[in-house]
Chain A
Amino acid sequence: MAQTPIISPRSTPDDIRAFRIKKLELKERDYPMPETKDFILDYINKIENKLKGLFDSKTLLIRVPSGSGMNGVTICLQQEISHRFGAAILPDHLVKKMHKSEAKKNLNLAKRNEDPIRYKISASEINRIAKGFSKVVIIDDVIGSGESSIKLKKTLEEGGIKIDGLFSLVTVEKSYPKQSDVDRVVNKIDRFLKLNFGENIDLRTDIELAFGDYTKQKLNRVERQLVTLSSAKKYLGLIKAAANIERQFVTELKMNLSL
């Protein structure tokens, strides 16, 4: 499991809740200025003392493309970090998304399996730019499961661009699943379905593949649903499908289909 450092501090539950409410309200009004910028400043000021040393003039910021095609928050965040620390911003046209569904808090695994997160990048151009920097950081407004940032990181790294960390204004979760978390989910499903040895091993492999590189939130969302025999059956299929999507994602990257 290749787990990427999330360099932003973990947010408090109150801050996360307030952020989501306000962001939704701004989105409904197409992220007006200067309100969107003021909103960013409030949150940056809360974590200001934890930002020291994270960015400097040799840092290149790559932002996650907007899921809604409207998000002004991540751009304002990127802009503010650049302004405060002298970090550079990757030009807007070099990273694009190919998925259609936004990364919503309650988007379930079945829906995400229908439309996996994928990016298309201009690898040679980004590589050329990144060579002038000592640190490259991916920026998003919120990290929950980390799927958007981490899929982008995998795409960039396959294109030869080394990523040093992920940063978000609001960080819901920054730890990754441990072996004990994987064991617990396998055991929950096994309790309902009485898997044989081979099925047990396959499930463990699929969970590690589909969830191991993302934050604990992604696996926790599934674990919370494992409460009945029918939910265990349903999620066994969804986990297998999610692992196959991850395999396909890796294959596509190796074939440079997204670059």
Chain B
Amino acid sequence: MKTKTIDYSVDEKRIFDEMQAVLTEYNKQLDGREPLPLPNYTDDEMAEYSQYREILLGEKYRTV
């Protein structure tokens, strides 16, 4: 199981960064007049993305 960001490949990181951008844009528009459609990522894709983000956040805020 991956526990650090260095366990992820460059390609995996790129995919998660793209998901982050899509989800951020979706959430920005969520309560606006013209909300964007719900991104169609699967549960597994979301869980993988979330795991990466949690590890990334942990590294960012625990090393300071």
Contact = CB atoms under 8 A, between A and B. Distances in A.
Contact of B61 (A69, A75, A107): A75
In which size bucket is the chain B interface? 20 to 34
Given A93-B2, A93-B3, A100 B41 contact: yes
Contact of B43 (A65, A68, A118, A122): A118
B64 A104 contact: no
A105 B13 CA distance: 30
Given A75-B61, A92-B58, A118-B43, A68 B50 contact: no
Contacts, number: 94
A107 B57 contact: no
B20 to A, nearest CB: 5
Given A93-B51, A97-B50, A75 B2 contact: no
Given A65-B54, A69-B20, A69-B53, A97 B46 contact: yes
A58 interface: no
Interface residues of A, number: 36
A interface, by DSSP: helix, strand, loop or mixed? loop
Nearest to A106: B31
Interface of B: 1-3, 20, 23-24, 26-27, 30-31, 35, 38-39, 41, 43, 46-51, 53-55, 57-58, 60-62, 64
Interface of A: 31, 33-34, 36-37, 65-72, 75-76, 79, 91-93, 95-102, 104, 106-107, 111, 114-115, 118, 120, 122
